[in-house]
Amino acid sequence: MGRLLKHRPAAPRLPGILALAVLATAIAVTPAWCAEGKTGASEAHLIGQIILLIVAGRLLGEAMLRLGQPAVMGQLIAGILLGPSVLGALWPEAEQFLFPRSPEQKAMLDGIAQFGILLLLLLAGMETELALVRDVRRAAFSASLSGIALPFACGLALGFALPDSLLPDPQKRVVTALFLGTALSISSVKIVASVVRDMGFMRRNVGQVILASAIIDDTVGWIIIAITFGLAGQENFNWLSVLGNVGGTLLFLAFSFTLGRRLVFKVIQFSNDHFRGEAPVIAAILVVMGTFALITQLLGVHTVLGAFVAGILVGESPILTEEIDRQFRGLVAGLFMPVFFGLAGLSADLTVLKDPELALLTLGLIAIASFGKAAGAFTGGWFGGLTGRESTALAMGMNARGSTEVIVATIGLSIGVLSHNLFTMIVAMAVITTTAMPPTLRWALRRLPMRREEKARLERELYERNAFMPNLERILLAVDGGANGRFASRLAGLLAAERRMPVTVLDVANDGAKPAGPKSEAEIVQPVMAGAEEADTKKLAMPEVDVIVRKHDVAPAEAIATEAERGYDLLMIGVEEVAAKGGGFHATLSRLLSQFEGSVAIVDARGAHRDDPAAPIGSVVIPVTGNENARRGAEVAITLAHALHAQVSTLSVIGKAARNRRAVRREIQAVAEEVKRIGKYLGTRIKTSVRTDDDAGGAILRVSERDQCDLVAMGVSRRPGDRLSFGDVADTLLRDAKCSLLFIAPQARAAVKSAAKGPERAAASD
């Protein structure tokens, strides 16, 4: 009730606020407009137009959000209100003054809007989560292809049935029909994601099918648009041209998702790691987008395909941090979206719908689009294995056109295959179908019960969202040429193979280490790749680990600090001097880690691994306590054990002198149960045990010797002070353990990045 009372009085004021804001903006920029004259191209006029579109789009976008509609509809409606549909009909002089028809002035605003199209497609690609499509591919492909085929056929039929008076060029009716078919068949990922997220169905089965189907719709739609654009530039339609455009598009896609994928990753990585100026990764992303757009232009297809594919590859890069993504999204949402969609609204003249024939055709277009999409999606969902209720929800969700439709129509208008009347009809259809979709989808989703397997999957995803390992994206490996370094490289390769993470290797052999470090890059990379192959061999898959070697001319501690600035989630370190003779960690290790504040994993090869770092790891013991770092350390250890199919056991020690042993036991039992759940999610069985002993370190040593353990992996916390310390238990293990040791010290939870990608990230802004 409090929220309703809070929001209710604000809504009626929005129209007044919008009118005042638009009036104030117009008054503020009018002197500059008048100073430069009313004719010819004026920079002041352009600035005023941009400000006006941003202000009006922002205010109406807020109004739409309060009404449960996507904000992008507010930006489109802002353009409709300021254009010939409303302002031009009520006050033609004012509309002409604000947005003059002079070709020079219009070209300036069009240039920004055209670049905005590329940025919007880049953003759409970045939000395209191909892994989501793979997870629900049967139902998604069935629903998407059926949902495209039926409305596409309806659009083609409509294009051939339209009177010549509605066509810009009757000789190119085929191209116009193709554009109409595409406009009627594809859905807007952003609009769909917004409603699905608001309803809490983003990770439900039907929600994933809806999103995956919309992603496929978008991808297929932009391929069709790109090919259609190539046909539009030809004088006469012929099948050889179609085959040439299709062949060029397929070659471009094949290159993009093989060599192009790695090339984009390398460009982003190089920019992030070597450029120190402001926003180097964003600049690299824009260069990648422009390059791909120009390639598709040279192939004779539209630049939007290049921008969209570039966005997919950029979104899959592990170097793309949440902060960079947010900065880029802010630039697009704050400037280019309101300008582009506002200009689309300005180009639509809804006054033409006063003509009964055009109004009837528009209603027919809306009916055909809605029925074709809903019927096709329902049929595809049914044959894809969904229930009747799930198929109904899918049919309701796929009927939103929104921003995608407007972009398609704008491209068609700009290349002359759509007339202004057809453009207006498509914009009207986009607004109406998008407005109708949220309430109908909400109604359908409320009727869906949760399946048992859905509940289990959602529990696992909740764990991954808050866990440590699933949110790691890059590993920094600091090693020398000794046994510890080779063993650390092996463990890093295992983790990287399990999580598909890139590894950057830093040679720190010049910091007093006794053995000489490896001389060649191949010698440095080989142990990491051997670990990755060891993990992947057990899964019968080829390793997909990217290993980069870094060499610095400065001291190793300074080199680690320099690399840390480039953004790493975990530093794994393996050097010869781990334990000091007098106890605790060696001063060399303390010096290396003195300037690194992130998560650290310290490796100490002992026993068989001292002589042969590749010796088997058949048994892992994980000491756990009631703190968070112990749980995160257990995640790392279980991930390693899963990669090796090793036996895992946890050990908790309760001191005999503990005041409230019952409470301590409950805490430890809770952590042990959580560790068991982690093992369940990874498919690894875990044996748990609790011992009562005042000497926790001694208890761990006795259990590891009794069970002939190969590795003790322990989550620890850094203690304050100049010298590296993890407490008495770690010191005991460091002094007396006969098996290999792995100490994991995770950073604070607030610094762990979210791994969420895909449409969910931007849904709120749409």
pLDDT category at 761 given cuts 50, 70, 90 is: very low
Question: What's the gap between Cα 354 and its chain centre?
Answer: 44
Where are any strands of DSSP class E within 554-675? Answer: 570-574, 600-604, 619-623, 647-654
Question: How many CB atoms within 10 Å of residue 204?
Answer: 22
Among candidates 343, 367, 186, 270, which has minimal Cα distance to 566? 270
Decide: 62 and 76 in contact? Cβ < 8 Å.
Answer: no
Q: Token digits for 712? A: 């003790």
User: In a 3-state reduction of DSSP, which class is residue 621?
Assistant: strand
Question: In the chain, what percentage of residues exceed pLDDT 70?
Answer: 81
Q: Which residues pair with 687 in a beta bridge?
A: 649
Q: Which of 166-175, 342-351, 455-464, 684-693 is least confident?
A: 455-464
Q: What is the mean pLDDT of residues 566-577?
A: 88
Q: Which of 379-393, 610-624, 729-743 is least confident?
A: 379-393
pLDDT of residue 712: 93
Among candidates 326, 349, 332, which has minimal Cα distance to 426? 349
Q: Reduced to 3 DSSP states, what percent helix, strand and coil does the chain have, rounded to the nearest 5?
A: 65, 5, 25
Strand 740-745 vs strand 475-479: parallel, antiparallel, or unpaired? unpaired
Q: Which residue has the higher pLDDT, 358 or 609?
A: 609
Question: What's the gap between Cα 632 and its chain centre?
Answer: 24
Instruction: Pinpoint the alpha helices (H) of 276-387.
Output: 280-298, 303-315, 322-331, 337-347, 356-383
pLDDT of residue 710: 92
User: In a 3-state reduction of DSSP, which class is residue 650?
Assistant: strand
| pLDDT higher than 90, residue 489 | yes
In the numeric block, the tokens 């761990």 are attached to: 700
Domains defined along the chain, listed by start = 102-449 (1.20.1530.20), 466-748 (3.40.50.12370)
Q: Token digits for 537? A: 């061999």
Q: Which of 83-87, 259-263, 274-278, 528-532 is least confident?
A: 274-278
Among candidates 344, 343, 240, 226, which has minimal Cα distance to 293? 226
| pLDDT higher than 70, residue 658 | no
Query: Which of 44-48, 458-462, 523-527, 619-623 has the highest average model confidence (pLDDT)?
Result: 619-623
Q: How confident is the model over 74-83, as pLDDT tens digits?
A: 888 888 888 8
How far, in Å, CA of 415 to CA of 680, rounded?
56
Q: How confident is the model over 197-243, as pLDDT tens digits?
A: 656 676 677 777 877 777 777 777 777 777 776 666 665 556 666 67
Angle, helix 103-126 to helix 322-331, in steps of 10 degrees: 160
Question: How many CB atoms within 10 Å of residue 515?
Answer: 13
* Mean pLDDT value across the chain: 78
pLDDT of residue 386: 81
Question: In the chain, what percentage of residues exceed pLDDT 90?
Answer: 9
pLDDT of residue 2: 37
Decide: 245 and 261 in contact? Cβ < 8 Å.
Answer: no
| pLDDT higher than 50, residue 106 | yes
The pTM for the full model equals: 0.63
Q: How confident is the model over 386-439, as pLDDT tens digits?
A: 888 888 888 887 877 666 677 778 778 877 778 888 888 888 888 888 778 778
Q: Token digits for 698? A: 């001694």
Q: Which residue has the higher pLDDT, 191 or 580?
A: 580
pLDDT of residue 240: 65
pLDDT of residue 514: 45
Angstrom CA distances, 586 to 561, 602, 648, 731, stand at 19, 12, 29, 11
Task: Give the list of residues 6+ apart from residue 286 with CB closer than 8 angstroms, or none.
Answer: none
How far, in Å, CA of 198 to CA of 215, rounded?
18
Q: Which residue has the higher pLDDT, 190 or 385?
A: 385
Among candidates 321, 315, 289, which has minimal Cα distance to 215? 315
| pLDDT higher than 90, residue 141 | no
Q: How confident is the model over 19-74, as pLDDT tens digits?
A: 555 555 555 555 555 555 444 557 788 888 888 888 888 888 888 888 877 777 78
Q: Which of 6-10, 46-50, 83-87, 654-658 is least confident?
A: 6-10
Query: Which of 268-282, 527-541, 657-671 has the highest average model confidence (pLDDT)?
Result: 268-282
pLDDT of residue 512: 47
Q: Token digits for 625? A: 């306590």
Neighbour-count burial for 144-159, b at 16+ CB within 10 Å, e otherwise: bbbbbbbbbebbbebb
How far, in Å, CA of 418 to CA of 410, rounded?
9
| pLDDT higher than 90, residue 445 | no
pLDDT category at 605 given cuts 50, 70, 90 is: very high
How far, in Å, CA of 23 to CA of 122, rounded?
34
How far, in Å, CA of 42 to CA of 36, rounded?
6
The tally of CA atoms less than 13 A away on the side-chain side of residue 275 is 14
Taken as a whole, the chain contains a residue count of 766
